[in-house]
Every structure is written in C-alpha cells, then in structure tokens.
A and B are shown apart, each in its own frame.
Chain A
Amino acid sequence: MSNGRHLAPRPGFVLDVDRNSPPIVFHHGEGFRMEKLPAGRSRVIYPAEPLEGLADPDGAIRHALDNPIGDSEPLRALLHAGMKLTVAFDDISLPLPPMRRPDIRQRVIEAVLDLAAEAGVDDVHLIAALAIHRRMTEDELRHAVGDRVYDAFAPDGRLYNHDAEDPDGMVVLGETPHGEDVQFSRRAAESDLVVYVNINLVAMDGGHKSTATGLSGYTGLRHHHNVHTMQSSRSFMDQESSALHASNWRMGKVIRDAGVKIFQIETTVNNDTFGREGPLALLQKREWEWSTRDRMQFLAMKAGLDVMPSSAKRKVFSSWQAPYALTSVQAGEVEAVHEVTTANVYRQHLVPVEGQTDVLTMGLPYICPYNVNSIMNPILVMCLGLGYFFNLYRGRPLVREGGVLIMSHPTAWEFHPVHHPSYIDFFEQVLADTTDPVEIERKYEKQFAEDEWYIHLYRNSYAYHGVHPFYMWYWGSHALQHLGRVVVVGGDPAAVRRMGFQPASTLQDALEMASDVVGPQPTVTHIKNPPILMADVS
C-alpha cells in the first residue's frame, strides 16, 4: 500500500465521523492530543498526500531561468558586466518548518550567481527580504543560502538582512492611485535588476507581495497590513478576494513604473512536512491506517513529551527539518509567474468541502512563521489560529458566521525576550486594555511602530519590529468579526482570557461551551492541518 501511495499520492478528502472512527490526533503545540469527535455530525478534512517532487531540481531551476514566463527575457540575457544586481530572498518565515539542506533558496541563488558570474556581473548584493521581521542569524542565513554563498558574500557585507528602518537605505518610489506610499529598499530600487527568490508555501505568499512587502517598511506596510484590509479580505489566502493582495499588486505596478526591473523566481514544495519515515511520519498518516507499531510509537512519544519541560520540547521540535521536495519552479515576469505558482500550490493544498459548519476545530502545531527557533507566544497562537488556519479557505469560511472556533494549544504565557520584546508589551499593556483590533490600531499602533527602543532592537538585535504584534492581531480580525466565540483547549487560562477567548480543559468542555452559542448538537468540522490544506468551500 505504501508503494502505491508513492506512485499516486491521494488527494485530500473529508471523513464523516461515525461510531467506528478512531480518535483523531490534534496538534497541541509541542505535543499532541487524541480527540474523539462526536459521531454523526462531525467531519475531518485531511490534507492531500505529498506530491512527487521534481526528479532534477537543479535542472528544473536552470530550465526555468532560461525559459521565463510572461513578458520577460531569459535571466542570462538580463545580466551584463558592470550592472548592479540585487538578489532578494524569502526569510526565515519560509518554509515551515525549515527544510533540510540544501534549501531551495540555496539551489536557486547558486544557479543565479553562476549565470551572473558567467556574465561578469561584479556588483551583486544578496538581501534577506524580511520587511519588519527579525533579522536572520548567521546560522539561519547559512542554512538558507548555503555556506559557499555565505562565505563569499557575507564577510564583505554583500549578504545582509533588509533594514526597513535604515533612514538612508529606504526610498519611497511613489504612490498608488489609492494613495498608498510605496516604500522600497534603496539598493533594490537602484539596481539594474532585482532577482527575487521565493518559496511559495501557502497561497498567500509570492507575487508582488514578495518585493512590495518583503523589501518595504512600516511606511509602505501600513497601507495593507491593517484592520480594514484584513476584514475586507475573504480570505487573504485567496488572491482573487484579498484586499491585501490588491494593494500589493497596485504597489507592484508603481515599483515597475518606477523603473525597477524584477525577475521573479517562484518555487513550490510538496506536503512532505513530517517525512515518510521517522518519528513524526505518522502525523502524515490517516489514523485508521496506523499500524500497531505506529500506535506504540505515538503513545511513547506522547508520554515522553508530557513529562519534558517546555524548553526541552521546544528544542526537540525546532530541530526538526522537513524533507520538502520541490514540486515546481517558474521564473520571469511577476504576475505571470505567480499565476502558475498559485496553481501549483492549489494542486497540493486544495480540498473540496461541502458547506459550512457550526463549530470549527483545529489543533495548532508548535510552529508558525514568526517563531522559528523561538517561542510560540499567545499572540502568535491567536495569529496562527484566527489568522492563518481560519483563512485557509476559498469561497466561504469553513465555519458559518456566528459559529465557534475551538483551537487546541498550550498557549503558555511565554515570550522570547530577544525576538518578541514588543509582543511582551503588547500583551501586557495593549491587550490588558482592549482586544478590539480597530481600537488597538487607533490607539496604540503608531506609538509602537515609531518607538525608538523597538527600532533599535529590530535593527541591532534580533527583534521583530515594534509594530509586528499589531499585524499579528490584525491577521485575526476577519475571524474575530466572523466568529461568535473562540475557545482554547488546554491553554493557560490567564493567557487565553487576556486575549478575550475562553479556556477549556477538554474538547468535550469546549464543545459544551460552543453549544451555548450555536445551539445543541452542532455540526463540527476539524481541519487537520498541518500538513497544509486549503478548504475549497462550496
């Protein structure tokens, strides 16, 4: 049977839970819960099995660079001696979890640099396009671009992290018809060519967002990273219905019109998050197909995790690197490239689902884009659940308006003091005052965004920008508006309440609490993510 799966990966599907259905594994931070869902009215959405990776990734990359899509010449035709070339690449937030070496970025960048060297290009800068994320450490940069590239470019300062608060390093290229400032890296803006190296993990990534967001700063971001945009995006994972993307696309046009030439290289990976073998492989299997060995292994793992201190668990989990395989690579003009990329993402992620549910459940894993090698603090829990997972839909949200979201996560009152200093203050000060995104935006955003200490930490230490926790909260604002209640199972009650959610110790309790809102015997849908899936709700 496992051989069969290799030949033809099965698509995602929806399981109707009946009396014979086994308990379902819920992610629960650095741990798991086994939950029995109510029979007869519950369903579980399973992700598709991992697509086959490309047999020759390096060949595919070279082929993509020579055969661009859309209105673009091949990369080698765009390179010439004496030019100024900037290679920007996705930061530590992609992919999740970090992938095994060699990272796709390393493969692509090496191919690009080979061509540049052939063409005699000397002036090359490599920039981690992290916008207002934290700077990447040396280890992280080495992992992303490879030691060869790092050692060649980093020591003399040609490989570095984007600095959105460098007064000399940023320019405003213009304004969109909607009055949005387009802020951009000066080095990129002044380059003859910007090559962007992307990893498109979810449908939100890539396209004009790569550069318009990744190489921008607060001045530009505030136009689309705000409550209004997020509440008008249904969802931000679906570019067709996303105000976030509309704004980025408008900015992309301004960037293009300002004369910035971008050669976009986008890649997609498969769903092989936890591997086909190894300790986490069973997270990719469907529960009723578990062997006795799988069961024993799971119980042993769970028992071990239950007694480990959180910092030790964190270490174990953050050392996991996904054996992701490249499923597509396309290069050329941004919009044309991104259309193909999105189709490839959907090919792996989309699962057709019929109709909405009263109660949506999800098990939140240990990682989200903003806590790689770090701590998943309560705000990130909110963002992952209400921002990312809730919005992984096309068409309609999985849960009906006024419905209930139940998330499972320890939601510990823990913060990384280096990576998330402004989060600590946001949690202690802002959320203690209000949890309403509109109010928060109006009252506190500017103050945090312009705070000198946070800016200092963002530029010189490894801190997310002062305004970043606000964006996390905005990310969940569509869900906050849509939902009747949010319940967190197994979370620290104080932290859960601080965010305006309700704590429950078991899923049964949470379902009871949900029926206060949606009535007795509600329908329940569990989105079994990750590996990532996106619900195509009809």
Chain B
Amino acid sequence: MIPEKLTGRRIAITGSTGFLGTALVERLLRCAPDCELVLVVRPGRRGADRRVERDILRNDAFERLRADLGSEAFAQMANRRITAVAGDVTVDGLGLDEEGRAALASCDLVIHSAAAVSFDSPLDQAVEVNLLGPVRIVQTLAELGVAPHLVAVSTCYVAGSRRGAAPEESVDASPFFVDVDWRTEVDSARRIRNETETDSRTPERLQDFREQAHGELGAAGTPSLAAKTEQLRSRWVDDRMAEAGVARASSLGFPDAYAYTKALGEIASAEVAGNVPISVVRPAIIESALADPSPGWIRGFRMAEPVIISYARGLLKEFPGVPEGTIDVIPVDFVVAAICAVAARGPLGPDDGDDIVQVASGSVNPLRYGHLVDMVREWFTEHPIYDDIGQPIPVPEWSFPGRGRVKKQLERAGTALDRAQKVFDVLPVRGRQAEAGARLEERRELVRRAEGYVDLYGAYAECEAVYGLDNLLGLWDSLDDADRQSFCFDPRVIDWDHYAPEVHLPSVVRAGRVPMKPPARGGESRSARLRRQILAPERQLVAFDLENTLIASNVVASYAWLGSHRLRGRDRARFVAGLVAEIPTLLSLDRKDRSDFLRHFYRRYEGAPVDQIAVDSLEKFSELILAKSFPTGIRRVREHRNLGHHTVLITGALNFVVEPFRPLFDDIVSAELGVVDGTYNGRLTTVPPTGEARYQALLDHAAARDLDLRESVAYADSASDLPMLEAVGFPVAVNPETRLAGIARKRGWLVEDFRKSPGMRRNLLPLAPAGRAGR
C-alpha cells in the first residue's frame, strides 16, 4: 500500500546528499514510482542541479535502478521526477528563491533529514542545523501558508545518557529531561561563537598562530604564512566551539552536541509547529544497508567505521565499553523504510499519542558489545589489514576496559610521540630520515583521532538505554505483505552473525580503502605511478629548485669556496674564522626570512671583480657543485627535457654561480648582483626568487610561455617552497626536510630521494683546495 499512498505526492527532502538522504531518494525513486521529489540542497559553487547530479545520482546507490532501467531511461525518469532547489536549513527562510519557495509550497510532504551528524561539530553549527533547522522549515511552511506533513529525522539519543527504558515519547515528557529554554541555548551558542572569534583575534593569540604557522611551514613567505595563520585561527575557533558543545551537552545529560541539539530541535519545532503536523523518526546508530539498495551499501566514513579500522590497524588496542552492553545499530535501509511507512501513513491524530517512531534494534534484537567485538576480531583475523611493508597486522585482544584507562593509555602514547616529533622537528634531517619523521607525525595523528573516538563514541558504547519500539512495531503490523517485502524495517529479522561479518565489515574496509592484500609483487608502486605521470609527455613546465634538490650545497658554501679560492695562509685562516663566527647569525636569519638572508649574505660579494668570479665560478662548478650534485636529479632534468617539457631552474643562488648549469635547462631564473666598474656592488638587482617570489617567478614564467601550471611539475626540498609546489599539478618533494615530508605524505605527493654519488669524500667547510691557484 505504501507506493500507492505515495502516488501523486510531491515530496520535499532536505539532507538528500547525506547517507540516509541518498538512500531515501533511491528508495522513493525505485519503490514509489509515482511520486515526485523536490530536493533542497546547498547549491555550492556548482548549483543545485549539478549537485543533485554529481553528489546524489552518481552515487553507487543508484546502480541498481540504473541497471534495471537502462542509463537513458534512468536519466529521463530522474529528470522528470526530481526538482532540484537551492536551499540551506541554516538560513532563515531556508535561503529559497521565488522558484524554490513555489516548489516547496507545492509539496504535500516534507522529509527533513539534514543534520550535522558529526559528533564533534562546533556547538553553534550543530545548533544552527539540528536545532534551528526544523524550526526554520516549519516557519517557512507557515510563511508560505501551507501545512504539509513534516517527517523530521531525529535520533534515539535525544533520550540522553540514561540506563533502562527510553520509550517513544516527546523529549520533555521524560522525567530525566532538564528543562532549558531552547531560545536561550541558541543565543548563548551564538554568543560563545562571537566571544571565541574575538578571543582568537587578540594579539597574543594571533602571535601564537603565526608562530605555529612558521613552525609548520618555515620561511615560506608572507602570503603562505598568512593563509596558514588564518587557517590555524579558524581551526582553533572550531575546536573551542566543539569543546563548548561537548561541555554543554554533558552538563545536560547528553552524550554529545548532536544528541543535545537534536533533542532541543524536537522541542522547538513542536513549539512552533502551528498547524504543520510533525512526525518524528528517531533512528539509533545507522550503519550499512542490509539489503537495499545493495547489501553493505554505505556512504561516507561513518561513526563506527573509524573505530573498527583503527582497531584492525592495531592502533586502538582497547576501546571502552561493557561486553554485555548493547550497541544499538540499525541498517540504513530499515530507517529509510520506516520513514517511507510513516510518510505513507500520514500524521497521527491529536489523540493518538506522540507522533514518534524509534528505529532501533536494542530492545527486540540486541547486538551485544562483546559479541560484536568477537565478530570483528574473528573477521580481521581471517582478513587482516596489511601495513606499509606488506605485513598483515594482528588484531589485539580486547579487554573491555573503562574509559579512563583507555584514555590514559592513549595519552601516554600521544605524549611519547609528541616528544619524538619535537626531536625530529629540530633535527636537520632530510630525505629518508625526514620521512620517518613524517610517519611519526602520521601515527601521532592516528592516536589523536583514536583519542577523539574514545571521547566521542565511548559514551555510545557505554550507553545502556533501551529504546522502546512500540510505535515502530505497531506500524510494522499495519503493513501488508507487499510492503513488508519492499519496505522492511522489522529489526527482529536482522541476523547479526550474518550482518556483521558478511555485510558490514567488508563494506567498512571497502569504504575505508584499507589494504586487504599484501602489495602485489611486480605491480606498479604508488611512487612508480606518480613518477610515470610526472614523466608523461603532456606535462608542460617543469621547475626545479637547486639547493638540496639537485645539489647538496648552498649559497654559503659557494661563497666560502669563491672567497677562499685565492686566499693563502693567514688570510685564509682569517676568512674561515670570520665565516664560522657568523654561522649562528646566518642560520637564524635564514630561518626567519630567506630573501632577507640572501640580501644580507650577498653583501659580502661587494667589490668582487666580475672577471675573476666568472673564471673561478667555472672551477667551483666542477669542484663544489658537480661533486655535490645528485646524479639522479640531473638525469631527471634531462629526462624532462627529452620529453619536450620546458625546464626551468628557479633559485636564490647567484647567476654566476649557476651559469654553468645553463645548458642543462631551457631557462634559469636566479638572483643577480649589481655591477659597478667591473666589480659587484653586493646589492641584488631584483627580489631573489625564494618563497613566494619563487612562486611568482613560476607564474610569470608560465604566463609568458602560455604554459598550464596544472599540467606542470615542480621539484623542491623545503616547506618554504610550498607556494611553488602548491601552484603546480604535480609537485615533487625532493629529500624533504621533516615539515615538507609530513605535508607531502599527507597530500600524496611524490617524494624523491636524490643522493650524492656515493664514495665521494665530504669536507665540513667547502673551501677551495689550498695552495693551488695563484702559485
């Protein structure tokens, strides 16, 4: 009867790009063939129509329907039945334009499934979406003068952290509900946001963020540092707001801001409902589909998944919870079916009790925490995840500890990793060692995430509320056989022993993209694939840094060599002593700002005769630069050139130092000194191409030759080159120092380990050999 009852209906849906919403749209299109859908989506940059196409209809949920109908018919059907409307539940009036308002007004059913489901969303965001979202919908409908049936998706956890029965009753009817005024809560959330924003802008804080940005990126140039600083500031504000959410929620007896705002949302929307009839559907923890649209279908990386994957990776060795506790999981298709059934049934009359349906499993078919853990253990023992070097990771034994103990363990691990990380950050390591540092950082990140899971999900694992399902089962009893076939939501039919290992876990590892096979021998590694892309003929511009990218040398070394080349005896000793004494100053300048350092340093070329430097530079090229070059790097330049790429060296080194490299590149951009009467005056004629100036040089270079940076490659070794690396489609981190290694790893950039030819002697101070020239 459900399809029939939905025939001819126009149904507005919010949250259709989400996990539940996508499944809902799919089910309605497939099983209720004669209804029309108005999808209210945030338009983003692409517009509502494109978003529906890209973010909903292209999801693999629709593969089944597309296969049944054929691609063309599917597209036609979708076109005919779906109207995309740009709207946003966080904006008063839902941000609808006239057309959108008309479309909404034409609907006789509204399903509100938009929510900020992340348990660590900032308080004000959760308030805007979860609390005010349904209120705004009701208000907008009232403004439009219509009163369609509103099915609002909420959550079982509005019952709060309690033990025992949690029946299908309104939130404020519960004896455990602490009565607070939702309007006050809204105001204070907004005020906290304002205060936090203000707080984040105090000079001390801003200084802090700048220092952090500098710590992360090094001397990356003002624009990059500014962007990073702002990013850190806004992240700091969000973190404070998330903390505020958790704090406020637990002060009122809710596990998190999600449940807290959803609960107040129910109260508020009921209060402002007027003549809009509201049915509330409260699912428990929604997980992958049991059968529809396909077994195991899931969208996004959801609540239990990170925990499961972290466990299988051996990272989360323990997770709080009691073995006999209930994990109230419900497959997404059950929730969808229940919503459809509620929608088809229509709103309850005033005397029929609370119009609330809970979709959960705990009270009739409980999945025990201990049982789930056993199944997960067993499954991952049989299907282990593989680590970086292709070894299966054994899953740890679970001991069901309390939350405090787990947190302490994680904190200890975190502190140890923090210390190691700090050591790595100050060590002047590069290449392989720096990558070890980056891996450390990754592990630290995982531990940090695990800590978060324990904080957030621990409450759920420890939750011992039992959600009443009287209304749900009553609704189930009212269905005929056909409906029971296509709209199954009876939690009693779930066989957990089948669902967990056969349906859910395979889907989790698929969605988590974790390696379930040892890396195939002889197969192309990730780096090999990236390298192939970088060396594809269609690449256009290839930019190289010089120091530590192609040669293991620097401007100081060049100067030391040139300066000492013609000195003998005492002069030479004096020169060395002077340079050594200055090293600390130079290093600290270099750390602060590369171009200031270069300007300062290059002053010492003042008075150097141009002719003599030219001759000596060629000699230095062999003895210092080539001897310390990375042959693989040089070969790479040549490979690019042979492929017809435009190769350019962009370096802060001086032109006469890099002049001998000219035949290697198509072009060289370098620093240049002014010349007066045949001697250098020690002043740079232009801004040296480092940091953002290097990025600018790259842009100019590409623009002048009409080359596409997205099709271009850049090689560099330091976080200060980030602007240049980020500007191109194919960045390569060469022998990266720790910071860049971390960034490259996170972003999946190719990391190359170019080395000096082995077997060469190294000398600490790059001085020209004594007693040769001028003899």
Seen from chain B, the residues whose Cβ lies within 8 Å of a Cβ on chain A are 618, 621-623, 626-629, 631-632, 634-635, 638, 660, 663-664, 756-761, 772-773
Provide the residues of chain A in CB contact with B629, threshold 8 Å: 417
Q: Which residue of A lies closest to B756 (CB)?
A: A417
Contact yes or no, B759 A375, CB < 8 A:
yes
A-B contact sample (20 more), CB < 8 A, given A310-B759, A375-B760, A418-B622: A311-B761, A375-B759, A412-B758, A414-B757, A415-B631, A415-B759, A416-B759, A417-B628, A417-B629, A417-B757, A418-B623, A421-B631, A424-B635, A424-B757, A425-B635, A428-B635, A456-B663, A457-B626, A460-B660, A461-B618
Tell yes or no: A13 within 8 A of B by CB. no
Q: How far does the Cβ of B626 sit from chain A's closest Cβ, in whole Å? A: 5
Provide the residues of chain B in CB contact with A460, threshold 8 Å: 618, 621, 660
**What are 6 residue pairs bridging A and B, where the CB atoms are less than 8 Å apart in the complex?**
A418-B623, A418-B627, A421-B626, A425-B635, A461-B622, A461-B626
Tell yes or no: A452 within 8 A of B by CB. yes
Contact yes or no, A452 B663, CB < 8 A:
yes
Residue from the list B626, B635, B761, B773 in contact with A418, Cβ < 8 A? B626
Tell yes or no: A290 within 8 A of B by CB. no
Total A residues in contact with B, Cβ cutoff 8 Å: 26
Tell me, in angstroms, the Cα distance from A138 to B623 when the chains sit together. 13
Residue from the list B634, B756, B759 in contact with A421, Cβ < 8 A? B634
Central interface residue in A415, A418, A424, A462, by most chain B CB within 10 Å: A418
Central interface residue in A412, A413, A428, A461, by most chain B CB within 10 Å: A461
Provide the residues of chain A in CB contact with B660, threshold 8 Å: 456, 460-461
Contact yes or no, A417 B760, CB < 8 A:
yes
Contact yes or no, A424 B761, CB < 8 A:
no
Provide the residues of chain A in CB contact with B759, threshold 8 Å: 310-311, 314, 375, 412, 414-416
Contact yes or no, B638 A417, CB < 8 A:
no
Q: How far does the Cβ of A208 sit from chain B's closest Cβ, in whole Å? A: 32
Provide the residues of chain B in CB contact with A452, threshold 8 Å: 663
Within A13-37, which residues are at the interface with B (CB < 8 Å)? none
Tell me, in angstroms, the Cα distance from A429 to B639 when the chains sit together. 11
Q: How far does the Cβ of A31 sit from chain B's closest Cβ, in whole Å? A: 14
Provide the residues of chain B in CB contact with A457, threshold 8 Å: 626
Tell me, in angstroms, the Cα distance from A428 to B756 when the chains sit together. 15
Tell me, in angstroms, the Cα distance from A138 to B761 when the chains sit together. 20
Q: Which residue of A lies closest to B637 (CB)?
A: A453
Provide the residues of chain A in CB contact with B626, threshold 8 Å: 417-418, 421, 457, 461
Tell yes or no: A139 within 8 A of B by CB. yes
Q: How far does the Cβ of B508 sit from chain A's closest Cβ, in whole Å? A: 42
Tell me, in angstroms, the Cα distance from A457 to B757 when the chains sit together. 17
Provide the residues of chain A in CB contact with B618, threshold 8 Å: 460-461
Q: Which residue of B lies closest to A312 (CB)?
A: B761
Provide the residues of chain B in CB contact with A462, threshold 8 Å: 622
Residue from the list A139, A424, A461 in contact with B631, Cβ < 8 A? A424
Tell me, in angstroms, the Cα distance from A370 to B626 when the chains sit together. 18
Tell yes or no: A63 within 8 A of B by CB. no
Tell me, in angstroms, the Cα distance from A217 to B104 when the chains sit together. 85
Provide the residues of chain B in CB contact with A314, threshold 8 Å: 759
Provide the residues of chain B in CB contact with A415, threshold 8 Å: 631, 757, 759
Provide the residues of chain A in CB contact with B758, threshold 8 Å: 412-414
Given contacts A415-B631, A417-B631, A461-B626, contact A139 B772 (CB under 8 A): yes
Within A276-317, which residues are at the interface with B (CB < 8 Å)? 310-311, 314-315
Q: How far does the Cβ of B272 sit from chain A's closest Cβ, in whole Å? A: 74
Provide the residues of chain A in CB contact with B621, threshold 8 Å: 460-461
Provide the residues of chain A in CB contact with B756, threshold 8 Å: 417
Tell me, in angstroms, the Cα distance from A413 to B632 when the chains sit together. 14
Provide the residues of chain B in CB contact with A138, threshold 8 Å: 772-773
Residue interface bits A461-473, CB-to-B below 8 A is 1, else 0: 1100000000000
Report, nearest first, the 8 A-B pairs whose CB atoms are least far apart.
Answer: A414-B759, A417-B757, A456-B663, A461-B622, A311-B761, A424-B631, A418-B626, A414-B758
Tell me, in angstroms, the Cα distance from A412 to B759 when the chains sit together. 9
Tell me, in angstroms, the Cα distance from A82 to B638 when the chains sit together. 48
Tell me, in angstroms, the Cα distance from A414 to B756 when the chains sit together. 10
Within A405-464, which residues are at the interface with B (CB < 8 Å)? 412-418, 421, 424-425, 428-429, 452-453, 456-457, 460-462
Q: Which residue of A lies closest to B663 (CB)?
A: A456
Provide the residues of chain B in CB contact with A425, threshold 8 Å: 631, 635, 638
Central interface residue in A452, A453, A456, by most chain B CB within 10 Å: A453
Tell me, in angstroms, the Cα distance from A424 to B622 when the chains sit together. 16
Contact yes or no, B760 A311, CB < 8 A:
yes
Central interface residue in B629, B664, B756, B758, by most chain A CB within 10 Å: B758
Q: How far does the Cβ of B9 sit from chain A's closest Cβ, in whole Å? A: 68
Tell me, in angstroms, the Cα distance from A417 to B624 when the chains sit together. 11
Given contacts A452-B663, A461-B660, contact A416 B761 (CB under 8 A): no
Tell me, in angstroms, the Cα distance from A452 to B641 when the chains sit together. 12
Within A303-351, which residues are at the interface with B (CB < 8 Å)? 310-311, 314-315
Tell me, in angstroms, the Cα distance from A315 to B763 when the chains sit together. 14
Q: How far does the Cβ of A16 sit from chain B's closest Cβ, in whole Å? A: 39
Q: Which residue of A lies closest to B758 (CB)?
A: A414
Q: How far does the Cβ of A419 sit from chain B's closest Cβ, in whole Å? A: 9
Contact yes or no, A453 B664, CB < 8 A:
yes
Q: How far does the Cβ of B266 sit from chain A's closest Cβ, in whole Å? A: 69
Q: How far does the Cβ of B674 sit from chain A's closest Cβ, in whole Å? A: 26
Q: How far does the Cβ of A192 sit from chain B's closest Cβ, in whole Å? A: 32
Provide the residues of chain A in CB contact with B622, threshold 8 Å: 418, 461-462
Tell me, in angstroms, the Cα distance from A116 to B634 when the chains sit together. 47
Q: How far does the Cβ of B713 sit from chain A's closest Cβ, in whole Å? A: 19
Tell me, in angstroms, the Cα distance from A461 to B628 when the chains sit together. 14
Q: Which residue of B lies closest to A418 (CB)?
A: B626
Tell me, in angstroms, the Cα distance from A437 to B632 when the chains sit together. 24
Central interface residue in B629, B635, B757, B773, by most chain A CB within 10 Å: B757
Q: Which residue of B lies closest to A425 (CB)?
A: B635
Provide the residues of chain A in CB contact with B773, threshold 8 Å: 138
Tell me, in angstroms, the Cα distance from A462 to B622 when the chains sit together. 7
Provide the residues of chain B in CB contact with A416, threshold 8 Å: 757, 759-760
Tell me, in angstroms, the Cα distance from A462 to B625 when the chains sit together. 12
Central interface residue in B631, B635, B663, B759, by most chain A CB within 10 Å: B759
Provide the residues of chain A in CB contact with B628, threshold 8 Å: 417
Q: How far does the Cβ of B757 sit from chain A's closest Cβ, in whole Å? A: 4
Q: How far does the Cβ of A81 sit from chain B's closest Cβ, in whole Å? A: 32
Tell me, in angstroms, the Cα distance from A139 to B621 when the chains sit together. 17
Tell me, in angstroms, the Cα distance from A415 to B635 when the chains sit together. 14
Q: Which residue of A lies closest to B642 (CB)?
A: A447
Provide the residues of chain A in CB contact with B761, threshold 8 Å: 311, 315
Tell me, in angstroms, the Cα distance from A103 to B663 when the chains sit together. 37
Tell me, in angstroms, the Cα distance from A421 to B631 when the chains sit together. 7
Provide the residues of chain A in CB contact with B631, threshold 8 Å: 415, 417, 421, 424-425, 428
Tell me, in angstroms, the Cα distance from A414 to B758 when the chains sit together. 5
Q: Which residue of B lies closest to A461 (CB)?
A: B622
Provide the residues of chain A in CB contact with B627, threshold 8 Å: 417-418
Tell me, in angstroms, the Cα distance from A401 to B759 when the chains sit together. 36
Tell me, in angstroms, the Cα distance from A312 to B638 when the chains sit together. 32
Provide the residues of chain B in CB contact with A139, threshold 8 Å: 772
Provide the residues of chain B in CB contact with A412, threshold 8 Å: 758-759
Provide the residues of chain A in CB contact with B634, threshold 8 Å: 421
Given contacts A417-B627, A461-B622, contact A453 B757 (CB under 8 A): no
Q: Which residue of B lies closest to A376 (CB)?
A: B759
Tell me, in angstroms, the Cα distance from A101 to B663 when the chains sit together. 39
Tell me, in angstroms, the Cα distance from A462 to B619 when the chains sit together. 9
Provide the residues of chain B in CB contact with A424, threshold 8 Å: 631, 635, 757
Provide the residues of chain B in CB contact with A310, threshold 8 Å: 759
Provide the residues of chain B in CB contact with A311, threshold 8 Å: 759-761
Q: Which residue of B lies closest to A413 (CB)?
A: B758
Provide the residues of chain A in CB contact with B760, threshold 8 Å: 311, 375, 416-417
Central interface residue in A417, A424, A460, by most chain B CB within 10 Å: A417
Provide the residues of chain B in CB contact with A453, threshold 8 Å: 638, 663-664
Tell me, in angstroms, the Cα distance from A138 to B756 when the chains sit together. 25
Tell me, in angstroms, the Cα distance from A460 to B772 when the chains sit together. 19
